[in-house]
Amino acid sequence: MKSERLDKIQYRKNQSIKDVLKGFEQTAVYTEHGGFGVIIDQDGKCCGVVTDGDIRRKVLNGISINMPIAEAMNSKFVFTKPGDSPHEILRLFDHRINNIPVIDERGELVDLLQISNFNASARVEHKIIRSRVPVRISFSGGGTDMSYFINQNQSAVLSSTINKYCYASILVRPDNKIRIVSKDLNQKCEVESLDKLKYGNSLDLIKASVKIMQPDFGFDLEVLSEFECGTGLGGSSAVSVAIIGAFNYFRNENHLDKYHIADLAYQAERIELNNTGGWQDQYSTSFGGINWIEFRENEIMVHPLRVSRDVMLELHYNLLLFRFGKNRVSGDISCDQKQRFQDKKAVMREKYMQMYRLTKEMKEALLRGKLKRFGDLLDECWNLKKSFSDKVSNALVEKLYNAARMEGALGGKVLGAGGGGYLLLYVSPLYQKAVCGTLEELGARHEPFDFTDEGLETWATQR
């Protein structure tokens, strides 16, 4: 129960019975089966509870409603402590008690448990809820997954998740405080309640993802990423999906499916924070695996591809991933791309449709095991994507890509919006040593990776 509601159900023991009855008229919505109040002494410590039934019996016995409420309260009341287990609490409710105060070690009221909305599975103070979400590499179709295009045109993205993860961990608190720690950003914040959580720093994405789930309890949230955001892996979406997925654990029968989780992550990142970008990242990371993500006018469909194991092993054997350059703000590139689309709508629409056709061809090449054609299509798609915005590529990107092609790479692309981060290349094993050597001399770092089959995963563990 929120702290302001707790304040409203607390009464001083020297307040009159009449005042308490008036209070019950306003606070009955907060409690079970009519009026209920917690009585506190001059130090703010709980010394009793009272119900409208207690008062009715006292009045029938002749007590005046102008007497202090201490005359009607029950000083031998049932309560629980913040660390009590769900099992212990269920035993108290088994005595047909409707409202159970939660009293801390100082004797102060910190929560009120109600029989109608108590769920033992949701009270996991003794457990840590964790989630993990992989980032993605996009082979083709990126940049065409923007609302301004897919609202009137069909498009698709071919992508796969890889084994770089974001983790979110939640520990329920006995109070309403919220404590957020980002281990990779080395940032933290602590507020008294959800409504005190304000934007204004590098934790805004985490805050937006929390706010959109509206948790009605206090918690410690820790976020850890195995990657840098702003490197083209869809990392910010992975962070948002991980947080939303962890809080989804507490929704019980109102569990969200992966489509809803992806939509909420999009809302947190794109709508709430106004970060310009497309739709593919949230869906790729939520679902995981290698997917054909289809963008229709009114819906998004994720189609897992049944690619043979042999083909996936060979694809992995021929792909190289390089980290290069500085982190970039993908929204800047996306905004520039949107402006170009609006300025040259007919021309750009045809380019987007051409990307859609190439992406379909790439999907078919992958399903048929025609990996040389897949590598060639990477090159075609990359050259087409560079025409979406002047910011997609730059001198360093061109230098690295051209050097790789000279050493034998069939094709490749910069992941994400472009500009910097990760360069994905399709290179026959015969030329991989030369490509790696040349690119490392130019400042790019080769990073091994593997495909993953799973997207969002959530689990509970003992504290």
Whether 281 sits among the annotated catalytic residues: the reply is yes
What DSSP state is assigned to residue 413? E
Instruction: Give the largest Cα separation in the chain, rounded.
Output: 100
Token readout for 106 is 């100082």
Selection from 213, 207, 194, 203 nearest residue 260 by Cα: 213
Catalytic residue among 195, 281, 310, 450: 281
Nearest CA among 48, 56, 41, 33 for reference residue 78: 48
Nearest to 434 by CA among 402, 399, 408, 395: 408
**Phi/psi at 319 (nearest 5 deg)?**
-100, 135
Backbone dihedral angles phi then psi of residue 105, each to the nearest 5 degrees: -65, -15
The two beta strands, 36-40 and 10-12, are: parallel
> How many residues make up the chain in this entry?
463
Contact between 368 and 404 (Cβ < 8 Å): no
CA dihedral (159, 294, 205, 414) in degrees, to 10, reads 40
Contact 5, 109 (CB under 8 A): no
Whether residue 100 contacts residue 82, with contact meaning beta carbons closer than 8 Å, is answered with no
Contact between residue 9 and residue 27 where contact means Cβ atoms under 8 Å apart:
yes
Distance (Å, whole) CA 268 – CA 300? 18
Q: In whole angstroms, what is the distance from residue 319 CA to residue 191 CA?
A: 45
Rounded CA separation 149/161 (Å): 24
Residue with tokens 């964790």: 130
User: Nearest Cα to 280, choosing from 114, 140, 107?
Assistant: 140
Q: Are 28 and 35 in contact (CB under 8 A)?
A: yes
How many Cβ atoms sit within 10 Å of the Cβ of residue 6? 19
Residue 356's DSSP bridge partners are none
Residues with catalytic annotation?
Answer: 281
